[in-house]
Amino acid sequence: MWTYNLPDLPFKEPVIVFTLLITIILVAPIVFRKFRIPGIVGLIVSGMIIGPHALNLVEFGESIKLLSTAGLLYLMFLAGLELNSRDLLRNGSKSLVFGGLTFFIPLIFGFVVAHFFLSYNILGSLLIASMFSTHTLISYPIASRLGITRSEAATVSIGGTIITDTAVLVLLAFISAASEGSISAIFWIRMTLSIAAFSFLILWGVPKLSIWFFKNLEGESGSQYIFVLAMLFISGLLSRAAGIEPIIGAFLAGLAMSNVIPPTSALMNRISFIGNNFFIPIFLISVGLMVDFSVFFTGFEALIFAVALVIVAISSKFAAAWIMQKIYRYSATERQVIFGLSVSHAAAIIAVVIVGFNLKLIGLDVLNGAIMIILVSCFIGTFITEKYGRKLAIVETVKVPVKIGSPEQILVSVSNPATIEGLIDFALLIREKSASQPMYMLSVVPDDDFAEDQIVKNNKMFQSAISHAAAADTELTLVSRVDLNVANGISRAVKELIVNKIVLGWNGKSTTTNFFFGSIIENLIGNTEQMVMVVKILNPLNSLKRIIVVIPENAECEVGFDVWVNTIKKISSRTSSTILFVGFEKSLSAIRNLLETKSDAVNVEFQATNSAHPIIEQNQIITDMDMLIVIAARRRTLSFSHYLDHMPRDLARYFEKNNFIIIYPEQRTVKTQSLSSSLDGIDVSPIQENIDRFSHIGNFKRKSPESRHNSLTE
């Protein structure tokens, strides 16, 4: 008779272990959320259940340790990657203050308890105190899911985490050297120089190398992701060589690459997806594997000791968050988010305890207390972050101005297959994060005997574009139109799909006005009122350092003024690039006033000019890491300038090797004829006087285009 022998426990077979881990990652969050318990807690508890101190299904062996370390580094890398460097610099002083508070307050609490109540010596007391100071961003995935990672509370918490963990690891190196009697001036000089050199190498070298790599392997999404992983672990390795923990290197690598990986890109989607669904969950399970229940039943004194350590650890972290709230007048919700993100202890505390135990500065009682701290703090941190992070997300949403009008609908018109991916990336870059509508990709097919075959051919050819957009978690719908005229086909699709933003590719072979602009663009902008963007992308968008915007006179008077300013601001924010506005002082002043009302800060510079050829002038300062944006205008509009007649020729001649975008602002008109008929019996003369007074501005077209143009020239 055939028999099957069950494998011995714990499982050693890699397939069994991996299957068990993947099953937990799938099932645990679903089950625990049914009981309103955060999924992160479910992963930690599941690790405790299958661990060597419970069911003994999986041991914390080398393979688990490898995946756990990778998950922790990935967690810190994502924290740096999703943290905009501009936000970090803006809140740098606050992060420094919180880092000091969350380091020194637990350190003082812990030293007093360990030295005066538990009778440990100076070095042992410092080591126990440093155990309270450190923390791990266990609940960061919750903040990421709730979309609050760029709120001030989360930014300050993440920045403070790096500061306090770095300080703890430096203190740990000092304790280790002091216990061996090797403290000297050379020690401090070597430590300072190595940290400074390492930080410069990562923050300066990684962006340079990333830009070069992305330029040369644009479109190779698989290679780009492997490159990101390589930078992550190489930075961790260099961090170890510099004498600090790899988690610091991983965070700095993420921070360095945050400027070259747009948050709405397909690459960013892949990084977040793999990290949040594989690496980080395995790290959380490994935290549960380390928890030993039995230590709490070795005696009443051991349990009291562990409880005392937990109270000090939790209360000192809360005290730091409370003082931070009082200093900067944060709300109670922001304080709780800061506390929830900074209270969890995990990997770093284990590193501290193991070092102290090996140096014989602490005993098993402290090790048991550290396990208790991990268990309790992870539960508290995840619950607090889940509860108050949701409240903060609601508050942050209220801060965003409500947009009145139809939802954003973007149409990308494609004629050259080689430009598809660049156009899709640009559309993703300007797309609202909250947009629920799909993007449309349009192909206009000539109305002839081969139209049907061409549509079938296009549908097959454009499947890669659909997959590319899907990688960024965006639905892309393919639309085909049969028409004798391309411009008519586009304008017809725009009306049918209620599109409000049109993206077109620049045809590099067509450099004359009659061939390209005269037959397609000019006809299109004459038949549509929507915002039209003509895009030429040669260098990757994530390599941008500066956006040069050339503005015609009276641009602020057009209806779509605030829309294109917001679009450029969005490009700048997502690529971490500086904006240089070039134009007349009146227009620049209007832009200043508009940007002051926006919540997200961007680096903006202004250059006033009255030049007759402002586009050509930019050729003297533009580099391959800049992008030129020309704000154009439809003919007979208030902002139309004569140099726009020669714009296609100038762009083709002087900016052949540069990225550039031509933006035709939205032109929506308000019909005033129905005003008097809809207000029968009401004296509308004051209203009518205001309409007549401002009728020359783009919103009101009571005068004919010719008479309005004549009045302007007078």
DSSP 621-680: T--TTEEEEEE---TTSTT--GGGGGHHHHHHHH-TTSEEEEEE--------THHHHHTT
H or E element that contains 481: strand 476-482
CATH of 539-668 given 2.60.40, 3.40.50, 1.10.1200, 1.10.3470: 3.40.50
Query: Which residue, chain included where needed, has tokens 């399970």?
Result: 285
* Secondary-structure percent of the chain, ordered helix, strand, coil, rounded to 5: 65, 10, 30
DSSP result, 575-598:
HT-EEEEEE-HHHHHHHHHHHHT-
Spans of the chain, pLDDT less than 50: 1, 402-403, 510-517, 669-714
Please report the pLDDT score of residue 347 as a whole number.
63
Residue 275, CB half-sphere, CA atoms under 13 Å: how many? 28
Quote the tokens at residue 260.
Answer: 């070259």
Q: Among candidates 149, 214, 258, which has minimal Cα distance to 573?
A: 258
Quote the tokens at residue 351.
Answer: 């590193």
How many C-beta atoms surround the C-beta of residue 389 within 10 A? 28
Quote the tokens at residue 270.
Answer: 């892949």
Q: Note the Cα 494 to chain centre separation in Å.
A: 31
Count of H-run helices and E-run strands, the chain? 30, 10
Cα dihedral: 206, 138, 150, 212 (round 10): 10
Query: Which residue, chain included where needed, has tokens 């340079």?
Result: 208
Residue ranges in 147-279 assigned as alpha helix (H):
152-179, 185-200, 206-216, 221-241, 246-257, 266-274
Question: What's the CA gap between 554 and 692, in Å, rounded?
Answer: 19
Quote the tokens at residue 156.
Answer: 């300050």
The 8-class DSSP code of residue 137 comes to: -
Question: What's the CA gap between 538 and 627, in Å, rounded?
Answer: 10
Quote the tokens at residue 178.
Answer: 């002091």
Strands 476-482 and 531-536: unpaired
The 8-class DSSP code of residue 5 comes to: P
Q: Which residues contact 83 (CB under 8 A, 6 or more apart)?
A: 149, 150, 155, 158, 159, 254, 255, 258
Query: Which residue, chain included where needed, has tokens 């549960």?
Result: 288
CB 85 within 8 A of CB 576: yes
CATH of 404-537 given 3.40.30.10, 3.40.50.620, 1.10.3720.10, 2.40.440.10: 3.40.50.620
Q: Which residues pair with 276 in a beta bridge?
A: none
Q: What are phi and psi of 697, to 5 degrees?
A: -80, 155
Q: What are phi and psi of 624, to 5 degrees?
A: -75, -5
Question: What's the CA gap between 697 and 699, in Å, rounded?
Answer: 6
**What's the pTM value of the predicted model, to 2 decimals?**
0.66
Domain with CATH 1.20.1530.20 in the chain: 19-292+299-399
The C-alpha angle with vertex 471 and arms to 252 and 490, in degrees rounded to 5, equals: 125
Question: What's the CA gap between 469 and 425, in Å, rounded?
Answer: 8
Please report the pLDDT score of residue 138 as a whole number.
83
Please report the pLDDT score of residue 38 as a whole number.
72
Please report the pLDDT score of residue 704 as a whole number.
39
CATH number of 19-292+299-399: 1.20.1530.20
